[in-house]
Structure 1
Amino acid sequence: MKTAFLTSFLLFLLASCFHSSAQVPYQKMQVEKLEAAYEKYKESAITHRRFKHADLHPLIQKHGSEFKLEELGKSVEGKSITSMKWGQGVTKVMLWSQMHGNESTATMALFDLFNFLEGKNDGYDELRNLLKNKLSLKFIPMINPDGADAFKRRNALDIDLNRDAISQISPEAVILKKARDDFEPEFGFNLHDQQIYYNVVNTPKQATISLLAPAYNYETEINEVRGRAMQTIAGMNELLQELIPGQVGKYDDAFEPRAFGDNIQKWGTSTILIESGGYPGDPEKQYIRKINFMIILNALHQIATRGYEQYTTEQYFAIPDNGFQLMDLIINEMQVKVKGSWYPLDIAIRRRETENAAGYFMSASVEDLGDMQIFFGFETLDATELQYLEGKVYSTAFESVKDISEEKALELLRQGFMAVKVKSGEARQVHSLPILVLKSTEKYSSGWMTGSATNFFLAKEGKPRYAIVNGYLIDLENPKKQEIRNRVF
């Protein structure tokens, strides 16, 4: 009788303790500690987002004493693809980045994280020991080295690796699939960049970070695997709202049967997509790199402590959707002349990056026109009573780009010259002048209709008031300093 009573009492105490611990809310990591960790362990060898495979190789090798390095295979062009393993815990987590070669933000953050995981005696040892004992981490920091070297989305076969999960035409796709199958992770992080024109839907705020628990079927159903990813994302969003309030979007969850994220979710790994977008004044995405470091480290802490269980799928669905409503420049009520009559219209302009041997430059065009009230511009100009005006080419050629000062360029713009010519130099040479430079042609493209190159003036009573040069807005009365990336034509 006493034994039965004692057993019942012990079971009651155990149940009480379990119930009590289950009610303790998950304590997310403090922003200040995460920021301090980033500043201490930021990888100083990476300072911009256009690094190449050869830049990363020595950085991977320097971690060989603390990480288990394994060459998983080679790309189409024969570049090594390496995995880095750390930790000895039961819960397996795989993180892969740069499946698209020009999406490098998270790769930078992973190397900051590698430095952090190797640290010691700095106030973070308790966290490191927790991660090391609870998790086994496998990183693949650059899946598409050929695309990275060319800084383009696709691989050397011109295949989008994120549409090659099933056919596995590309060696890089075969490597990623095998890595997942061999490791069998419980959680996966699919790390990408998205265009800077994504916004939090129907707001002017950029979606600096977008998150997604990808669907595993067309019905976008939620099972235990996808549900865990949603809960983890809800916890990540809680931290993000402290860092970038109102700038977090939820990526479209339409099922893509060829995509790695969707299929890895389907294959039983709770998969979290992180898309790094844009942030004002951060063209090289160094602040967004910091955010990636912080939210990935926080998410690993959630997984190690099972803190994600404190969050719900309802909190995940409360994250607002992504929109695609941002433009570099919106000009409202610009007057254009057609068949002798003037018409007021809005035009929306986007600039796109293009890479060449000399570096990268911008190429701008009219994205849309008419009534643009549903879009938001990084810059917006009220052009009421201003008229579209074509520019001229200055007849006297300069010797080279170096012989044209910014002041001279602005002086010529005020006189109605949109372009100048040079005798020497290379076509496609990158420059920062606020005027078009012609070397291989006597003309330049211009127009206001969709798809047109945006090189024109806005004039009042026939006098140029503003210049739009390759999509950059230049106030001819009050010019401001701005980073301009043009090329020689």
Structure 2
Amino acid sequence: MKSSSGISVLIIVILFLSYGCQPVKNSTDSIPPALLEDAYAQYKAPEIDNRRFGYDVIAPLIARRKAMFETTELGKSVEGRPINALTYGEGTRKVLLWSQMHGNESTATMALFDLFNFLEGSADDGFEGIRSALRENLLLRFIPMLNPDGAEKFARRNAQQIDLNRDAVRQSTPEGIVLKAARDDFEPEFGFNLHDQNRYYNVDGTALPATISFLAPAYNEAREVNEVRSKAMKVIVGMNHLLQQVIPGQVGKYDDSFEPRAFGDNIQKWGTSTILIESGAYFGDREKQYIRQLNFMIVLNALYEIATERYTQYTEEAYQAIPENDSKLMDLLINNVETADGDNKYRTDIGIKSSEQYLDSLILMKGSIADWGDLSVYYGHEEIDAEGMSLEKGEIWPEVIPLEQLDSAKVLQMLKEGYLAVATDKHHQGKVHQLPILVYTEGNTPDLNPTLEQRPFFYLTANGKRLMAVINGNVIRMDGHKNESFWQLIE
């Protein structure tokens, strides 16, 4: 759960003194979550407020770090954008952290810039004991955006359409070459491989999303555990211990099958204790700003536990006890709805997933019926128990209506009368709207049959009354309930 914002200076001092201003080797104490939450609130980078940004946003943030960090250009991307490293600390224990290997996985990148602010913080802010432990014991090197071309397009792959995380051995990409050289030149003891995962991962056997997932990658097919991998496991246990205090039950662990092309597996094999962190979903946090906070907290705590050797208190058994990831989540799961195939009536569940489309700063959601049938082993970010309800196909409004004549009140009346789509003038094609109905242009008549892999536009009814409409995967209630607005494209 999220704590209340802010904490008094007195309480901060008390919490800080409770585990000692000076690092204590092998102590069982950790940084209190409330202290980490307050550090995040104080040092969150305000320049980044959503997860879709390119190199031009972070370039000035890197440029102004030169007083406290050593900044280095390691190379350039396919399209010529710089790939930078920032180095901090005076210690001998080396840690390499790299983010946004996949261009659309930016949660940890945001958290790294929050962490940079923290490391540059004031000596009288109550956090100097943590900072001094990091500064005196560690030599940290950060690569905050490995794939700037992918980030520019908010796309997974680089400009060659290659997945950088499958280029550790062949080295076909300039970005992969940069990362391999960075590891070889720096020879870090620890490495943090920072990613995002899709929101359909759940913690095995539960309806809870895997908000954060971990992996200490295998270094061979036999998935053996040597000292290098064991240390990675123990660091992960410390991060899980922290997360269980703030998001209990929402931490998963990846299957550790060896992937011979992946950077994480190979960097583990090359002698760096490698920790994979994957940021998933948290209810109501589409822009991943709370998950950004969680990244800040667990990375800062992990670095502190490495600096003070607190991670050595944990065990491999505790790592193995972290539950596995599963992939049983839908964006919307409708259970037990009655439908018909001709005269044959039957009960089904409907699972809907929604992909994200971007238009400048707007996020457009495009739903699809992902599965149909017995989905009793699945869960939904949003669930509807449709017992006693029937599926009803919607109709198309019989006239073309100018866009300026459509408003929420008129559209809601259309929905109540059984219409889920309306045509408007052709010159509006490609524009966006927030009306809870499918708006299309003349000649692009949609198919409103609710079937597998089709766009989800249909009603849920009971006793001849339309209770709710599903519009492009969003639920619109007919009872006057205030519905959330959402952006759609005019087709």
TM-score of the superposed pair, with normalisation by structure 1: 0.92
User: C-alpha displacement at 1:462, in angstroms?
Assistant: 5.1
> What does residue 367 of structure 1 align with?
370
The alpha carbon displacement at 1:478 in A equals 4.0
Q: 2:296 aligns with which of 287, 293, 296?
A: 293
Counterpart of 1:389 (choices 383, 388, 392) is 392
Q: Assess, with a 3 A threshold, how the Cα gap between structure 1 residues 372 and 294 changes in structure 2: closer, same or farther.
A: same
Aligned position for 1:101: 103
> Is the Cα contact below 8 Å between 2:435 and 2:485 reproduced in 1?
no
Query: C-alpha deviations, 1:401-441, integer Å up to 9, x for none?
Result: x5422222211111111112222654333322211110264
User: Equivalences for 1:295-444 in 2 at 5 Å?
Assistant: 295-356=298-359, 359-400=362-403, 402-423=404-425, 426-439=428-441, 441-444=443-446
The letter for the 1-side match of 2:175 is: E
The 2-side partners of 1:100 and 1:70 are apart by 21
Using the TM superposition, give the Cα deviation of residue 358 of structure 1 relative to its aligned residue in structure 2, in angstroms: 7.2
* Aligned twin of 2:80: 78
Verify the 8 A CA contact 1:165 1:259 in the aligned structure 2.
yes
Structure 1 gap ranges (5+): 1-20
Larger gyration radius, structure 1 or structure 2: 1
Q: 1:66 aligns with which of 57, 65, 68?
A: 68
TM-score (norm 2): 0.92
Q: Superposition pairs for residues 82-481 of structure 1, below 5 Å? A: 82-121=84-123, 122-356=125-359, 359-400=362-403, 402-423=404-425, 426-439=428-441, 441-460=443-462, 463-481=465-483
More moved, 76-85 vs 447-456: 447-456
The SS at the match of 1:76 is coil
Runs (5+) with no aligned partner, structure 2: 1-22
- The answer to whether the 8 Å contact 2:26/2:309 transfers is no
Secondary structure of the 1:396 match is: strand
Could you tell me how far apart the structure 1 residues matched to 2:485 and 2:364 are?
11
1:182 maps to a residue whose letter is D
Q: Is the 8 A contact 2:436 2:485 kept in 1?
A: no
Q: Distance in 1 between matches of 2:279 and 2:225?
A: 25
Residue 431 of structure 1 aligns with an amino acid whose one-letter code is H
Write the distance in 1 (CA, Å) between the matches of 2:131 and 2:385. Answer: 54
Report if aligned partners of 1:399, 1:424 keep a CA contact under 8 Å in 2.
Answer: no
Deviation at 1:341, TM superposition (A): 1.3
Letter aligned with residue 303 of structure 1: I
Q: How far off is 1:295 after superposition?
A: 0.6
Question: Given residue 292 of structure 2, which amino acid in structure 1 is its aligned partner?
Answer: R
Distance 1:151 1:139 in 2: 21
Map 1:50-61; keep pairs closer than 5 Å: 50-61=52-63
1: CA distance, partners of 2:292 / 2:207: 22
Distance 1:26 1:487, change over 3 A: same
Deviation at 1:459?
3.1
Moved more, 426-435 or 186-195: 426-435
Are 1:215 and 1:255, in contact at CA under 8 Å, matched by a contact in 2? yes
CA distance in 1, matches of 2:485, 2:304: 39
Equivalent of 1:37 in 39, 44, 51: 39
SS at match of 1:214: coil
Matched, 1:28 2:18: no
Contact 1:225 1:269 in 2 (8 A): yes
The one-letter code matched in structure 2 to 1:292 is: N
Question: Is contact 1:42-1:115 (8 Å) kept?
Answer: yes
Q: 1:277-307: per-residue Cα shift (whole Å, max 9, x none)?
A: 1111111111111111011000000110111
Once the two structures are TM-superposed, the CA of residue 157 in structure 1 deviates from its matched residue by 1.2
**Once superposed, which parts of structure 1, at least 4 consecutive aligned residues long, lie more than 4 Å away?**
21-24
Per-residue CA deviations over 1:52-95 (Å, capped at 9, x if unaligned) read: 11111111111112111111111111111111111111000000
- Closer/same/farther in 2, CA of residues 441 and 64 from structure 1, 3 Å limit: farther
Contact 1:358–1:429, Cα closer than 8 Å, also in 2:
no
Q: Does the CA contact (< 8 Å) of 2:426 and 2:442 recur in 1?
A: no
The secondary structure found in structure 2 opposite 1:136 is: strand
After alignment, is 315-324 or 444-453 more displaced?
444-453
Deviations 1:315-343 (A, max 9, x none): 11111111111111111222222242111
- Percent of pairs with identical residues: 50
Contact in 1 for aligned 2:397/2:423 (Cα 8 Å)? yes
Q: Conserved in 2, the CA contact under 8 Å of 1:347 and 1:448? A: no
Cα offset, 1:366, TM superposition: 1.4
Q: Distance in 2 between matches of 1:288 and 1:59?
A: 21
Which residue matches 1:14?
none
Change (3 A) 1:28 1:366: same
Please say if residues 193 and 274 of structure 2, whose CA atoms lie closer than 8 Å, have aligned partners that are also in contact. Answer: yes
Alignment partners' CA distance in 2, 1:172 and 1:440: 46
Q: Distance in 1 between matches of 2:335 and 2:122?
A: 57
The answer to whether the 8 A contact 2:189-2:273 is kept is: yes
CA distance in 1, matches of 2:328, 2:197: 13
Distance 1:483 1:192, change over 3 A: farther
**Matched length:** 468
Distance 1:61 1:23, change over 3 A: closer
8 A Cα contact 2:477 2:483, kept in partner: no
Distance 1:483 1:367 in 2: 23
Q: Give the superposed CA RMSD.
A: 1.8
Instruction: Indicate which of 48, 51, 62 corresponds to 1:49.
Output: 51
1:37 and 1:22 map into 2 onto residues whose CA distance is 21
Once structures 1 and 2 are overlaid, which stretch shifts more, 328-337 or 475-484?
A: 475-484
Is residue 202–residue 374 contact of structure 1 (8 Å, CA) maintained in 2?
no
Q: Secondary structure at the match of 1:180?
A: helix
Instruction: Tell me, in whole angstroms, the C-alpha distance in 1 between the residues paired with 2:203 and 2:430.
Output: 35
Kindly provide the amino acid, as one letter, of the partner of residue 372 in structure 2: L
